[in-house]
């Protein structure tokens, strides 16, 4: 299979189960909503070292937010409810509570509850007030610019982490250009995030290492500088590889994002230096979700 002359390798991306939640962050204007969202989702590229994977899902209009203010939807993924609870407590308390004019609401309505305002209300030192509106409880925590409004709980849902595809190009610049096209197209979609910087990762990894203390190490078969030293997966004309990792609330969301992203990455075609599209897997031993490139793109 080829798209614009770009070979689509007959392989699959291997993904694994995660737990996820969505938060709605609002503020006086979009600038401050994004300040809170960017701080909340910082240092959240990989559970290998960050504890969670998180990013902005999309910008929200006033008509889409609980309080009628500009907002941002963010998604957070972790390996367990316990870790997700910890990440929520730390990140919302340090990055949203602290952001001027911010408020925080649940963005998923079904699933097991995770403490949100329930855990943060104690910052009010006894002056906090709860309000019940319908089936939802909110906490009003006094702060120096007024009050921080935070929903009592958010909800957790089953999710999928580690969807991915690899862009093999002749040069680094061409690989980056194709990646940017893919990210731009994929960020129009809902229910997914691309957790790495700018949505792209250059340090694709494999499970394990020659060093016993490391759980993961460089994916040497896709490193162009090692081509003459290892069992390389790269043809001679590939000078750079970049990976796009996708976390999604459902397998269908990841499959759609993969299709949209790969098609966009192939826009420049073979004439633009894009040699092939591949994917990272571990022979089916890492996770139960297998996203077969050719099936998705048919």
Mean pLDDT of 154-175: 98
Say what the pLDDT of residue 141 is.
98
- Give the DSSP letter string of 9-68: -S-EEEEEEEEEEEEEEE-SSHHHHHHHHHHHTSS-S-TTTSSSEEEEEEEE-GGGSTTS
Tens-place pLDDT, residues 253-269: 999 999 999 999 999 99
Say what the pLDDT of residue 283 is.
85
Which 3 state secondary structure label does DSSP give 278?
strand
Check pLDDT > 90 for residue 285. Answer: no
- Return the CATH fold of 2-14+160-297: Alpha-Beta Plaits (3.30.70)
Tens-place pLDDT, residues 21-48: 999 999 999 999 999 999 999 999 999 9
CATH number of 19-157: 3.30.70.520
Distance between CA atoms of 202 and 234, rounded to whole angstroms?
Answer: 15
Tens-place pLDDT, residues 139-153: 999 999 999 999 999
User: Please, how many CA atoms are within 13 Å of residue 217, restricted to the half-sphere of its CB?
Assistant: 9
Nearest residue to 103 (alpha-carbon basis) of 53, 153, 69, 64: 69
Check pLDDT > 90 for residue 9. Answer: yes
Asked whether 15 and 161 are in contact (CB, 8 A), the reply is: yes
What residues pair up with 158 in beta bridges, in sequence order?
19
Average pLDDT, whole number, for the chain?
97
What residues pair up with 59 in beta bridges, in sequence order?
72
| pTM of the shown model | 0.95
Tens-place pLDDT, residues 106-137: 999 999 999 999 999 999 999 999 999 999 99
Percentage of residues of the chain with pLDDT beyond 70: 100
**CATH 3.30.70.520 residue ranges in the chain?**
2-14+160-297, 19-157
Mean pLDDT of 60-76: 98
Angle at 93 between CA 81 and CA 128, to 5 degrees: 105
Express the helix, strand and coil content of the chain in percent, nearest 5 each. Answer: 30, 35, 35
């Amino acid at each position: 299979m080829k798209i614009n002359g770009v070979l689509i390798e007959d392989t699959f991306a291997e993904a694994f189960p995660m737990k996820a939640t969505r938060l709605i962050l609002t503020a006086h204007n979009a600038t401050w909503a994004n300040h809170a969202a960017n701080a909340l989702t910082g240092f959240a590229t990989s559970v290998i070292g960050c504890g969670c994977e998180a990013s902005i899902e999309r910008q929200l209009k006033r008509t889409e937010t609980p309080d009628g203010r500009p907002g941002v939807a963010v998604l957070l993924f972790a390996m367990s409810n316990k870790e997700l609870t910890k990440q929520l407590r730390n990140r919302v308390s340090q990055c949203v509570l602290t952001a001027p004019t911010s408020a925080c609401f649940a963005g998923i309505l079904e699933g097991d509850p995770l403490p949100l305002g329930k855990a943060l209300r104690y910052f009010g030192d006894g002056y906090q007030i709860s309000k019940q509106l319908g089936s939802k409880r909110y906490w009003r925590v006094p702060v120096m610019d007024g009050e921080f409004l935070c929903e009592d709980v958010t909800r957790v849902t089953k999710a999928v982490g580690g969807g991915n595809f690899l862009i093999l190009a002749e040069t680094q610049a061409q690989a980056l250009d194709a990646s940017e096209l893919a990210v731009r197209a994929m960020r129009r979609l809902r229910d997914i995030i691309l957790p790495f910087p700018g949505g792209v990762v250059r340090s694709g990894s494999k499970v394990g290492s020659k060093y016993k203390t490391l759980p993961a190490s460089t994916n040497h078969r896709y490193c162009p500088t090692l081509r003459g030293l290892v069992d390389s997966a790269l043809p001679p004309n590939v000078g750079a590889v970049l990976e796009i990792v996708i976390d999604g609330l459902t397998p269908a969301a990841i499959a759609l994002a993969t299709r949209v992203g790969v098609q966009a990455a192939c826009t420049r075609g073979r004439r633009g230096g894009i040699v092939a599209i591949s994917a990272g897997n571990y022979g089916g031993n890492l996770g139960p979700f297998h996203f077969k490139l050719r099936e998705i793109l048919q």
